[in-house]
Structure 1
């Protein structure tokens, strides 16, 4: 395939992404499921070129920015509070799933060596950050569940990669050392944290000195790949390095980024992450064709592998439920014994957490790195696709319905201040600054309008806090009127520009001011 053909194929894939995303919105389906099914069907259309994703390229191109974005938007305080639960899922459950899948696979396919069975378990054991983000965008979960699912998907890839590497080595050499696995994992994990902290600290130093918005965003984007590649070059976990650097960036961006950088960054990242996530699911679907063709067609796959594939998928899903309910039962027992830190999730939250184990691009990329001489390689590749399909399409599309049926309750203690109370505190601080500077040297009131606005803001927020039920409808009508006035101003601005009354620069500047004001109103009303 020539460079021009590759470019045309990329444009065609982007067009497919737009169409499938629109279809998902129309049918009210998770976009990830529509992208996966649509691309898988499209891959078998006669005449389309064969496309095989390079697994190393998939990992280094897509994974770092997606991990960085997930870590950047993660609440560091909540991540730290839920760290024991996150590590239980990211390490304990991945190991348990690897063992469970290995045992089931060897039971169903006795001719496959144990090490190869465990290699398959390592491939399908870690839930994927991309799949989790894609599904979580369409549902509302309690804060603890969200932190557990997001945190798990950020960390568990390192566990799966270590287990996979040692399982493959054992399958090819016949030698396995459990102590070496544990020591290597500790080295990769801790080393990745140190490299990520160093990369994050370097970003803080550089970003503080940046005065250009575009350069600041570019340096921040490059941090994802730089931290990942630095970790890999130093033979530690690039995944953990990227996640650590992203947590550092997310913590310091509030004091480093200007408002303009944040506004531009939100828009830029939303488009970038959407395209990258969509391309990952498209590549998964397209890669299926080469595997099925090599196996002799879909009929041959179904006739020879149906039972093992069903067993692997069930083992993956059930192992997650067993681990989650078993560990939550342990928390319940410890809580009854008086241990304050052991807070069980409860049946409702545990059920949702168990059903939210979607696999995706990382599972595919790991499977595609299997050596050609690996025993059972074709079975592993098809099983990886089967697990991705079952978890994304079946679990992803039904997760919202399960949440609506189970109705998991948010048992996390609320923060001391509500949104309205925080807004009141900010309004009081702003009023204090304006009061100190509203009068001239001779005592005359210079900024009367600003003082009146600040006093009215404090009074309005205080009234809203103390009388929310009656104030909220008036607030909605107030913001609706302001929005209509902004829309009218924007229409007049465009009319003046179309009539040649103002320059392009005037249009852009005033339109930006109106956009910022309207975004501020939306944030105030919707929180």
Structure 2
């Protein structure tokens, strides 16, 4: 019963955080409010939550990473794949090596493998923290897509580096060849598990629906279970469950373009996933805040492990490591931009100058989060010979301190850094949306004309004069859409007689098919198609 009460209290804290956030200054991100509420719960509770890292990974990460992979714009992901891979792979390795030696130099009492383990677990950025902080700062869309793609993919590389650093600390040996081969297997098998399971499940679901119909709620429940299945299959294969969940989400975004799901199912599924995302995101940060008091109690043990007596040394170490991570990130991003400019020069393309404010914004946006917390808590308690794992308490304390400092620095620095900056709207997105709206409206007009003739010739036709009038009214609306390309005109729709309802439903079905077809052939992005299909689904639900 106590566990149920704790869960309910944390969910209430998540709800409260959303309202508290609205009365606080805009610069304070939601994760910080939730962390504070979690710390308050810990202070008022007589018992804490025993956080099981393996259970934490299974319950929280698969659905959230699946949803991020599903909803991240794939056109931007593919367009900037080189930059994203540089950040998700190259920057992680660069951070592990650079920060590892820095930590060992700062704290000689911490063995080098443990220093590398700490550097590895603080190297991945957190997608939830990045999105939350970005909501209060005018970050350009393209940069936001790069940051989201980086945070989705760098978890696997960071955790792999962490695993091998811990193994080196446990055994005293490290094999670069073994690490490389293992990393390749983790990536390939993880991606294959996510893609394969998603395709098999969706194929089986379609076969069942085609032969037995669609039970209410069943497709949504299956959709919720896919990320957990992908994660568990990958873990059984000793691959990356995190990458499997991301790959399953990305695959689901392409499966969605087939248009097989019913309109009501899409609407309900979207609402369910929004609720799941809000709840799990919030509970993760509340849990982080709830764990902080116990973690800070480790400060006494951490002092002994660091070889100092003054507690201010721990604060100095935390800020020094965070600053070192920022310097390493800035150096890598600057070098990457210089390489891009050099390539543009070689190819005789227009060159862009490096904007110092955007460079610093990209550096500050690399906030750490719950993946770092869950990963560092998996540190073994003892070595194979039974002796305590070296500097375990100190490593956990410093990792959690880096999470808090990086969140504070990003939430305070980004809005002030980007204040007053204006970024031009991306013309490609507006152009894609206009193309899709015009194509869908033309397809709808054609469908109305065909459906009008079919209804007038059918045996169920009672008054043939009704259909031309209704068709003219519906076609007038679509002609207005062609002239204005204004989504606000949807508010002018109203319920009419049976004839107009049938014509509208036929038009909406034609619109949806056209939008899906444009997205399948890469004429518009999946983000635009999703936006338009949701509008169409909502209108169809209204008339049905």
- Alignment TM class, shorter chain as reference: 0.7 to 0.9
- Partners of 2:126 and 2:370 within 8 A in 1: yes
- Partners of 1:187 and 1:236 within 8 A in 2: yes
The alpha-carbon deviation at position 457 of structure 1 amounts to: 2.1
2:428 to 414, 417, 427: 414
Whether 2:404 is the aligned partner of 1:389: answer yes
Q: Secondary structure at the match of 1:197?
A: helix
The alpha-carbon deviation at position 91 of structure 1 amounts to: 0.6
Whether 2:387 is the aligned partner of 1:367: answer no
CA–CA separation in structure 2 for the residues paired with 1:152 and 1:433 = 43
What whole-Å deviation, never above 9, does each CA across 1:384-415 have from its counterpart, x for those lacking one? 111111122331354334333444556x6615
Q: What residue number does 1:437 align with? A: 451
1:406-485 equivalent positions in 2, closer than 5 A: 406-408=421-423, 414-415=428-429, 417-439=431-453, 440-441=456-457, 447-464=467-484
Q: Secondary structure at the match of 1:447?
A: helix
CA–CA separation in structure 2 for the residues paired with 1:391 and 1:406 = 23
- Partners of 2:14 and 2:34 within 8 A in 1: yes
1:91-490 equivalent positions in 2, closer than 5 A: 91-209=89-207, 210=209, 211-254=214-257, 255-296=259-300, 302-338=311-347, 346-372=355-381, 373-408=388-423, 414-415=428-429, 417-439=431-453, 440-441=456-457, 447-464=467-484
CA–CA separation in structure 2 for the residues paired with 1:120 and 1:188 = 21
- Partners of 2:264 and 2:537 within 8 A in 1: no
- Partners of 2:298 and 2:394 within 8 A in 1: no
| Larger CA deviation: 208-217 vs 51-60 | 208-217
* Structure 2: gaps (5+ residues): 304-308, 382-387, 497-533
CA–CA separation in structure 1 for the residues paired with 2:231 and 2:354 = 33
The alpha-carbon deviation at position 308 of structure 1 amounts to: 1.5
Q: What residue number does 1:489 align with? A: none
What whole-Å deviation, never above 9, does each CA across 1:46-91 have from its counterpart, x for those lacking one? x531223111111111000000110111222322222111111111
Cα root mean square deviation, aligned: 3.0
* Structure 1: gaps (5+ residues): 466-471, 486-514, 522-527
Task: Provide TM-score, normalisation by structure 2.
Answer: 0.80
Q: What residue number does 2:501 align with? A: none
CA 1:288/1:415 → structure 2, altered by over 3 Å: closer, same or farther? Answer: closer
CA 1:341/1:359 → structure 2, altered by over 3 Å: closer, same or farther? Answer: farther
- Partners of 2:364 and 2:409 within 8 A in 1: no
CA 1:139/1:451 → structure 2, altered by over 3 Å: closer, same or farther? Answer: farther
CA–CA separation in structure 1 for the residues paired with 2:354 and 2:539 = 36
- Partners of 2:195 and 2:248 within 8 A in 1: yes
- Partners of 1:90 and 1:155 within 8 A in 2: yes
The alpha-carbon deviation at position 279 of structure 1 amounts to: 0.7
CA 1:126/1:408 → structure 2, altered by over 3 Å: closer, same or farther? Answer: farther
CA–CA separation in structure 1 for the residues paired with 2:446 and 2:423 = 42
CA 1:301/1:123 → structure 2, altered by over 3 Å: closer, same or farther? Answer: farther
The alpha-carbon deviation at position 186 of structure 1 amounts to: 1.2
Q: Secondary structure at the match of 1:175?
A: coil
- Partners of 1:158 and 1:239 within 8 A in 2: yes
CA–CA separation in structure 2 for the residues paired with 1:177 and 1:191 = 21
CA 1:517/1:175 → structure 2, altered by over 3 Å: closer, same or farther? Answer: closer
Q: What residue number does 2:525 align with? A: none
CA–CA separation in structure 1 for the residues paired with 2:423 and 2:397 = 35
| Larger CA deviation: 418-427 vs 52-61 | 418-427
CA–CA separation in structure 2 for the residues paired with 1:19 and 1:147 = 29
CA–CA separation in structure 2 for the residues paired with 1:265 and 1:76 = 20
Task: Provide TM-score, normalisation by structure 1.
Answer: 0.83
What whole-Å deviation, never above 9, does each CA across 1:488-521 have from its counterpart, x for those lacking one? xxxxxxxxxxxxxxxxxxxxxxxxxxx9999659
CA–CA separation in structure 1 for the residues paired with 2:435 and 2:473 = 18
- Partners of 1:104 and 1:311 within 8 A in 2: no
| Larger CA deviation: 84-93 vs 178-187 | 178-187
Q: What residue number does 2:384 align with? A: none
CA–CA separation in structure 1 for the residues paired with 2:535 and 2:119 = 49
The alpha-carbon deviation at position 179 of structure 1 amounts to: 2.4
- Partners of 1:348 and 1:407 within 8 A in 2: no
Whether 2:10 is the aligned partner of 1:13: answer yes
- Partners of 1:168 and 1:374 within 8 A in 2: no
CA–CA separation in structure 2 for the residues paired with 1:206 and 1:240 = 23
CA–CA separation in structure 2 for the residues paired with 1:418 and 1:233 = 42
Q: What residue number does 1:491 align with? A: none
- Partners of 2:92 and 2:123 within 8 A in 1: yes
The alpha-carbon deviation at position 199 of structure 1 amounts to: 0.9
Whether 2:30 is the aligned partner of 1:31: answer yes
